[in-house]
Amino acid sequence: MKFVAVTSCPTGIAHTYMAAEALEQAGKAAGHTVTVETQGAAGSTPIDPQVIAEADGVIYAADLEVKDRERFAGKPSVDVGVKKAVHDAAGVIAQAVAAVESGVVAATPAATPGAAPATKVDPNASVATRVRQWLMTGVSYMIPFVAAGGILIALGFMVAAFAWPGDEGVVAVTKVPLGDLLANFNALSGQDWAVLLFQTGAVAFGFLVPVLSGFIAYGIADRPGLVPGFVGGAISGAVGAGFLGGLVTGFMAGFLALWISRWRVPKGVRGVMPVVVVPLLSSAIVGFVMVVLIGQPIASAMDGLTSWLNGLSGANLLLMGALLGAMMGFDLGGPINKVAYTFAVTGLATEGLAADAVQYQIMAAVMAAGMVAPLAMAFATSIRKNLFTHAEQENGKAAWLLGLSFISEGAIPFAAADPWRVIVSSVVGSSVTGALVMAVGSGLRAPHGGIWVAPLISNPFAFVGCVAVGMVVSGLLVVALKSARPSPLVQAEQQADAAAAGEPVLVPRAA
């Protein structure tokens, strides 16, 4: 059979493309052709209409609303989450085959005029699941602003270190007003370029809280939630409430906008409800509540959190690094991983941080720990190939690059095939790395990039060493656990290979 598929995940980075590859491989293994359109952060290339016309069925592996879904109208389809396609691509292909054989065609939603930001919140899910989905909607749209802004700021500091004498640059680059740059920019001046990079990054980073708040509200109330959400997030930044205020205003604005948009009003008023009434009332209420009632208490809580972080030292700092590392290694890009990552990146937005602030160390610990799992699986497949299937060995080669690039999801194919041994190993190695980074005092101003932002890492050689230690710990642990009880799938594959070659097979035995 011929299938077309669409994959997308909330962040549009790793899972989108891993699901596409998994579906293509599973389809090929089952004797089918699967053509995939990845609707990720880098945009998408639409499938050729002729390919769609010739397809027997459609696979939607998406955690966001599929763009231009009406193209696939009239064809049998299956609709699953993106993680289902990553973990059980063969099962998804089987579902698609069954859908084609049954001949049942699901109704395709009508096309919506204009392009709306994508999100996917299941209204029938539990309250806890919907809260997570609302949060992830905000986080997924926030991350590109954080990555661009954080890296530009870090580059500004790096250029400033060379442009100013001694250690003046890190402070001096923050003191130059933007007006001076507008009036007197000199393309040959390293100081001007440092200020330009810093100011541009600061503007991008300034969207962090408004975008987080706005898209949480959007996840709850759709378009009516955007205006009060962004306004509430901007007020949170203005009163010093930071990302905690952004979380509060996101939920407040979303539920307010949803409530007001459902009012029963006369026909003459309905036309102005979404354009005037809903944004006006919801924004006014959110502004009043934040400025008059809860803004200052939340700002005080943020100040307390900052003071507590800056006061951490010794064993407390190591424990925090170990905890954040374990969270990064536990679900490999899932909700717990994202909580640790969001905690780290929002810390970078704290104003007035010293060059050696704990927030920079936390970011370094989180990124280092997030690199461990895929690197460990790549390392393990290199030293003991006979403990892994051929597909895992190939995934191990790709995991080197994914791990170095701080894409924890590179370990998901291994965790899907052997959850407890891979996850236990990942948690242990990642927590070791998190604690070690805190111990050596490495800091990071950039929120992403892996080894490719090494020039932006303080004490970079120690940072790389911490990642390497965690990789070896996790890699050796997963090898030991798999050696104690070899995978039946690996044994069967080795026996089949030996039979095909007419040779006896050497199967690893339990210790």
Tokens of 235: 């007020």
Q: Give the SS3 label for residue 78.
A: strand
Cα 103 from Cα 76, distance rounded (Å): 6
Task: Indicate the burial class of 127 (C-beta count within 10 angstroms; 0-12, 13-18, 19 or more).
Answer: exposed
Which of 4, 6, 9, 196 is flagged as catalytic?
9
Where do the H-state alpha helices sit in 206-277?
A: 208-221, 226-238, 242-261, 267-270
Cα 211 from Cα 214, distance rounded (Å): 5
Ordered DSSP codes for 440-481: HT-EE--SS-GGGGGGGEESHHHHHHHHHHHHHHHHHHHHHH
* 9 in catalytic set: yes
Q: Give the SS3 label for residue 167.
A: coil
Spacing of C-alpha 170 from chain mean position: 29
Q: Give the SS3 label for residue 80.
A: strand
Contact indicator for 411, 332 with CB cutoff of 8 Å: yes
Place of tokens 């905000």: 138
User: Which residues on adjacent β-strands are paired with residue 35?
Assistant: 4
Where do the H-state alpha helices sit in 353-449?
A: 358-383, 390-404, 412-417, 419-440
Annotated catalytic residues are 9
